[in-house]
Amino acid sequence: MKTELTGMNPAELTDWCKDQGLPGFRGKQIFQWIHRGVDFDGMSNLPASLRENLKEEAIAQPVSIRTTRVSALDGTVKFLFALLDGNCVEGVLMRYHHGCTLCISTQVGCRMGCAFCASTLEGCVRNLTAGEMLGEILCANRFLVESGEPDTKVHNVVLMGSGEPLDNYDETVRFLRLLREPEGVNLSLRGVSLSTCGLVDRMNRFAEEGLPVTLSVSLHAPNDGIRKKLMPVANRWPIDQVLAASRNYVEKTGRRVIFEYALVDGVNADPAQAVELASRLRHLQCHVNLIPLNDVPERGLKGVSEAQVKRFLDTLTEHRISATRRREMGDDIEGACGQLRRREINRTSETEDHDD
Ligand code: SAH
């Protein structure tokens, strides 16, 4: 099996080169090329014979772009990324005044089973490696160059695509450390958000890593009764423990926590539930992000009207909870979680059905 070099840091790549009988400085050269999105063929300061050998032994770019859809509304780009084993995951590039944000996936599918989420419908196929997570960013940067925007790069990263990042803990943390390598993509972790459904033990462990990442917690309910209807993880970790772990994260990192709350008609969107939520969050340094639900017809869950969003938001604000409604981007290209991959899976299985 070939060795994936993409997830290695410069010291590890140097050691790997030495193990191959190469001079150590090749490690740094290869690292720089990888982070620029270049495959072995393009590593022009390496002898041609070495490049050929490396191709036999190793992988530099484990991710490629299978399809892209560009929003005519706001320039949002939805990627379907192909992995070397034939799996695919989604990513979304959003454009803001202050730069580009890429939403990346951390697993192929997800095993958390949230009722409203399209990514989890077929369970978790496998974890992504750190190199594959980085590969999603490298693909998006290459796409920007190829679309005539060589000066635009992914600036912020959100781990909010398919998968539960804290369920793939080691590779996710390795990926985050790679991001800030000065010779690599060199991103500030202050521009990175990690979203979790609330794996309390892992949240507490993550608080100790010394990584200044913004933690987003998918809360989606003011109490355990409602949360259990939407999120099986609530049977394992009660909301009080999720909030205690969130408070611990604030104390350890000095960064406020973001609570994600998707409004589901008839389930969690009543103003009384906003009051209950506000009372639970009162002494926490936090911000609530209200998300209008993207309907998942397979699960029979519906979003709410603009008026209902506003009422919920106003109630939180009246109770002095900082809250905003999440801006929707790429509405015309199925920007939301799991939708594009599902369509691809459905399309492929339709074709397969046809062939039978
Ligand atoms: N597993 C992580 C990250 C992936 S989901 C987590 O649970 O946070 C990223 C965000 O999108 C989460 O807040 C998730 O709850 C939300 N989400 C998933 N499906 C959605 C839908 N149909 N409509 C609105 N938000 C959704």
The mean pLDDT of 198-220, rounded to a whole number, is 98
> What is the distance between the alpha carbons of residues 271 and 278, in angstroms, rounded to a whole number?
11
Question: Ligand 1: which residue has its CA nearest to atom 20?
Answer: 117
Q: Which of 24-38, 108-122, 160-174, 229-243 has the lowest mean pLDDT?
A: 108-122
> What is the distance between the alpha carbons of residues 246 and 342, in angstroms, rounded to a whole number?
32
Catalytic residue among 103, 117, 139, 337: 337
- Give the global pTM: 0.94
Enumerate the domain spans of the chain.
3-59, 63-355
CA of 54 relative to ligand 1 center, distance in Å: 39
Dihedral sign, Cα of residue 248, residue 319, residue 265, residue 94: negative
> Tell me, what's the pLDDT at 352?
35
Question: Ligand 1: which residue has its CA nearest to atom 7?
Answer: 197
First to last CA, the chain: 33
Is the CB of 261 inside a 6 Å radius of any atom of ligand 1?
no
| Mutational pocket test of ligand 1: of 107, 114, 164, 298, the residue with most ligand atoms within 8 Å of the beta carbon | 114
Q: Express as a percent the part of the chain with pLDDT over 70.
A: 92
Q: What are the distances in angstroms from CA 324 to CA 198, 212, 215, 287, 290?
A: 21, 23, 17, 8, 6
Catalytic residue among 4, 17, 90, 260: 90
CA of 64 relative to ligand 1 center, distance in Å: 24
Is the CB of 117 inside a 6 Å radius of any atom of ligand 1?
yes
The yes-or-no verdict on residue 350 having pLDDT over 70 is no
Amino acid at 322: S
**Architecture of the domain whose range is 3-59:** Orthogonal Bundle (1.10)
The yes-or-no verdict on residue 14 having pLDDT over 50 is yes
Going by their DSSP bridges, the two strands 88-96 and 99-103 should be labelled as antiparallel
Is the CB of 90 inside a 6 Å radius of any atom of ligand 1?
no
Question: Ligand 1: which residue has its CA nearest to atom 17?
Answer: 117
Cβ 144 vs Cβ 153: under 8 Å? yes
The CB-side HSE value for 182 (13 A sphere, CA atoms) comes to 0
Residue 182 CB neighbour total at 10 angstroms? 6
> What is the distance between the alpha carbons of residues 164 and 190, in angstroms, rounded to a whole number?
20
**3-class secondary structure, 301:** strand
CA of 199 relative to ligand 1 center, distance in Å: 14
CA of 112 relative to ligand 1 center, distance in Å: 11
Is the CB of 218 inside a 6 Å radius of any atom of ligand 1?
yes
> What is the distance between the alpha carbons of residues 40 and 59, in angstroms, rounded to a whole number?
8
Is the CB of 214 inside a 6 Å radius of any atom of ligand 1?
no
> Tell me, what's the pLDDT at 309?
96
Q: Is 57 among the residues known to form the active site?
A: no
CA of 57 relative to ligand 1 center, distance in Å: 38
Residue 235 CB neighbour total at 10 angstroms? 10
CA of 160 relative to ligand 1 center, distance in Å: 7
Question: Ligand 1: which residue has its CA nearest to atom 18?
Answer: 117
> What is the distance between the alpha carbons of residues 104 and 89, in angstroms, rounded to a whole number?
8
Question: Ligand 1: which residue has its CA nearest to atom 1?
Answer: 164
The yes-or-no verdict on residue 353 having pLDDT over 50 is no
> What is the distance between the alpha carbons of residues 329 and 86, in angstroms, rounded to a whole number?
28
Strand ranges, E, within the chain: 3-4, 58-59, 63-70, 77-83, 88-96, 99-103, 107-109, 124-127, 154-159, 192-196, 214-218, 257-263, 286-292, 323-325
Phi and psi of 271, rounded to 5°?
Answer: -55, -30
The yes-or-no verdict on residue 225 having pLDDT over 60 is yes
Q: Is 90 among the residues known to form the active site?
A: yes
Question: Which atom, in ligand 1's list, is nearest to the CA of 159?
Answer: 3
The yes-or-no verdict on residue 349 having pLDDT over 80 is no
Q: Which of 339, 353, 356 is nearest to 67 (CA)?
A: 339
The mean pLDDT of 117-129, rounded to a whole number, is 94
| CATH number of 63-355, picked from 3.30.200.20, 1.20.58.1880, 3.20.20.70, 1.10.10.10 | 3.20.20.70
Confidence of residue 300 (pLDDT cuts 50, 70, 90): confident
